[in-house]
Amino acid sequence: MVDPVQKEFVQAFINFLKNPSTSQNLSSDCRESVDVAIQCLQSAFDISDDVGLQSVAGTQESDDSVNKDGIDMFEIFQSLFIERNPKATQMAESFKNEGNRLMKEGKYNEAMLQYNRAICFDPRNAIYYCNRAAAYIRLNYNENAVTDCKTALLYNPTYGKAYGRLGIAYSNLKKYLESQQAYEKAIELEPENQDYRNNLQVAREAAQLRDSVPQISESINSVLSSQAIRNLVNDADIDFGQLQALSQDPVVRNTIQQLCSGMPTNSNDPMASPLLPNSMIQLFQSIASQFAAAQGNGSSNDSSSSHTDTRPPAV
């Protein structure tokens, strides 16, 4: 009598052989040989051809390759084979190295494909998932990067670099709380890594800036609601030099301060002056200065603010 476990395994292997993706690159002679092998296995282990056909057709309920516990016997065999085959590990490492080389050349799509191949040969190596996450980040596939970082951490929970890249991906997704948590964990695991500390600070500042946007918007609306400011903005014949001079006018400054009074500050000192009034005045002065300079030169030059690049270096 055939052992049920053996029969399950053989059925799973037959399903693998019958899968179109398995035989699509085989010659007609090889396909005939595979068909003969399938028939021999079915005969030896008393496996009905109808069951195999139903499985290949995708009928989930009749797939004997998956037992009642949802375990695919042939998938287990493949994972064990990979673990015991040193050549598979060597191949995976070579693909990873090629991916690293491509990352340094800025060929991120090609690098991602190499990491895919490395994972196929060694699907439990946390480094390969983390490296692929770096490629995903460069390609702006941040959701995929989050998934890969979490997978890497499943296989290696103390992998600091995976937490670091998880923080980058979350920051790119504007999930700053999750980003800070990831960076904090990375720092806990690699306290000497200054990049993690820098990126944590960037994430904190980004979160603070995002939270302050509604306050700034409210302050601007309050300023623009002032009749004096509205008259100033709506006056098409206004001289830019006059605009700059008005920014220094104590009356205008007091108006802005009064309109913005009571706004929260970044200080814990209740006696501290509100932050937003000064910021608004500086903004008003800056705009006035730029307009005056533009009028004097007859042209305007765009200036872009620099920011810290939080993307990971090529691995």
Amino acid 27: pLDDT: 78
Amino acid 43: pLDDT: 86
Amino acid 63: pLDDT: 45
Phi, psi of 278 (to 5 degrees): -60, -40
Amino acid 18: pLDDT: 82
Could you give the domains of the chain? Answer: 4-83 (1.20.5), 86-204 (1.25.40.10), 226-297 (no CATH)
Total Cβ atoms within 10 A of residue 176: 21
Long-range contacts of residues 55-60, Cβ cutoff 8 Å, at least 24 apart: 55/11, 55/15, 55/18, 56/15, 56/18, 56/19
Query: Are the C-beta atoms of residues 79 and 85 closer than 8 Å to each other?
Result: no
Amino acid 267: pLDDT: 45
Amino acid 221: pLDDT: 54
Q: Is the dihedral of CA 7, 8, 13, 14 positive or negative?
A: positive
Amino acid 71: pLDDT: 53
Amino acid 100: pLDDT: 96
Amino acid 78: pLDDT: 58
| DSSP SS3 for 123 | coil
Amino acid 11: pLDDT: 82
Residues of the chain under the 70 pLDDT cut: 1-2, 5, 21-25, 50-85, 211-315
Amino acid 306: pLDDT: 33
